[in-house]
Amino acid sequence: MRSLDVQLAERSYPIHIGPGLLQNSSLWRPLLPGRQVLVVCDDPVAGHYLQRVRAGLDGLDHASLVLPPGEQEKTLARFGEAIDALAGLRANRDACVIALGGGVVGDLAGFAAACWMRGIAFIQMPTTLLAMVDSSVGGKTAVDLPQGKNLVGAFHQPRAVIADTDTLATLPDRELRAGLAEVVKYGAIFDAGFLDWLDDHADALLARDADTLAEAILRSCRYKADVVARDETEQGERALLNFGHTFGHALETAGGYERFRHGEAVALGMVIAARLSAQLGRAPAADARRLSDLLARLGLPVEIPPGFDPAYLLQLMRLDKKALSGRLRLILWKQAGAAEIVAGVDEDAVLAALAA
């Protein structure tokens, strides 16, 4: 097991990464503040892993909420089901929600925990690579609206992140590749050397080599934990973690939350942001090509499919949470390993990048 901490003073919490952690209840059961627990997961995860977690809750008052899978299920209606489940459990202030699954479950269950009685404990148990390296860490919780992604939510930190790498064995190949997009993001914005490492280990990552995946997860979590410790509620530096996300979220919304996996949309968004940065003379074009080549090698999309209207994508981007006073703020590139927040980006240039 490999571990690190997210340093947030009295709200600091551990991230544990390794095999067999779900059934190791001695690791996470002491973190439960009371005797009431709601486990939230989706159908596929329930079939594989719910019983392992339930076995660790023996003797406690616990219930499960099993949802259909997919980003299209991260809605206010499903959030309402989680709240109803907590009410059915008669959950007190010392109850705990366990988010067992990918980013959709983590975001939705965490938001329910943030809202029930103005905030109760929750534990992230991510079962996808993307959730392990990104969405389970940092306390962002939310649900989507038809108008945009993650527009209703709250910052609410978990008590722990329990990343059982055994769960990656049942992860579909497409979901593994989608998770690798968020891993690449950390190299793109923080560490060009990590991009080199990913390029060298691309085949091992795609082959699910356990040690290589564990190292990628640990390094990704370390990058994110350090940023969250410095800027918990995204007042400045943490916004860099959204490299590619403004474009990516627009693509997800335009695709009805079904056309792309989140990581696929982020991969496309990073390529567009890198090309736009080069187009504006802010970054070398060679770096943009290198990023695109790495993402393509990892089996991720690097060109927007036909049928997406650039003007509509731009309209969706104006509702992005980083926009201020109706003007776009984008995360652009200086070079591989260095990003910046740029306000007032010319919309004609953005349209041109989308159209290209």
Pick the closest to residue 217 from 198, 234, 199 (CA basis).
198
Q: Which of 71, 73, 182, 252 is catalytic?
A: 182
* E strand or H helix that includes residue 7: none
Encoding tokens for residue 47? Answer: 């079939």
β pairing state of 329-335 and 36-42: unpaired
| Residue 234 known to be catalytic | yes
| Residue 303 known to be catalytic | no
Pick the closest to residue 201 from 183, 186, 185 (CA basis).
183
Beta carbons within 10 angstroms of residue 87's beta carbon: 10
Q: Which of 71, 73, 175, 234 is catalytic?
A: 234
Q: Which of 52, 62, 74, 140 is catalytic?
A: 140
Q: Which of 249, 275, 321, 329 is catalytic?
A: 249
| Residue 74 known to be catalytic | no
Pick the closest to residue 89 from 62, 122, 117 (CA basis).
62
Contact between 44 and 18 (Cβ < 8 Å)? no
Q: Which of 245, 261, 321, 329 is catalytic?
A: 245
Q: Which of 242, 261, 275, 329 is catalytic?
A: 242
Q: Which of 62, 159, 185, 262 is catalytic?
A: 262
Q: Which of 74, 149, 219, 224 is catalytic?
A: 224
| Residue 140 known to be catalytic | yes
CA angle 84, 136, 164 (to 5 degrees): 100
| Residue 24 known to be catalytic | no
Pick the closest to residue 210 from 174, 168, 175, 172 (CA basis).
168
| Residue 262 known to be catalytic | yes
* Distance in angstroms (rounded) separating the CA atoms of residues 49 and 45: 6
How far, in whole angstroms, is CA 264 from its chain's centroid? Answer: 12
How far, in whole angstroms, is CA 105 from its chain's centroid? Answer: 11
Q: Which of 52, 159, 238, 261 is catalytic?
A: 238
Encoding tokens for residue 29? Answer: 């059961």
Residue 221 CB contacts under 8 Å (≥ 6 apart), including other chains: 4, 15, 17, 132, 133, 137, 161, 163
| Residue 242 known to be catalytic | yes
DSSP character string of 70-93: SGGG-SHHHHHHHHHHHHHTT--T
| Residue 118 known to be catalytic | yes
Catalytic residue IDs = 118, 140, 182, 224, 234, 238, 242, 245, 249, 262
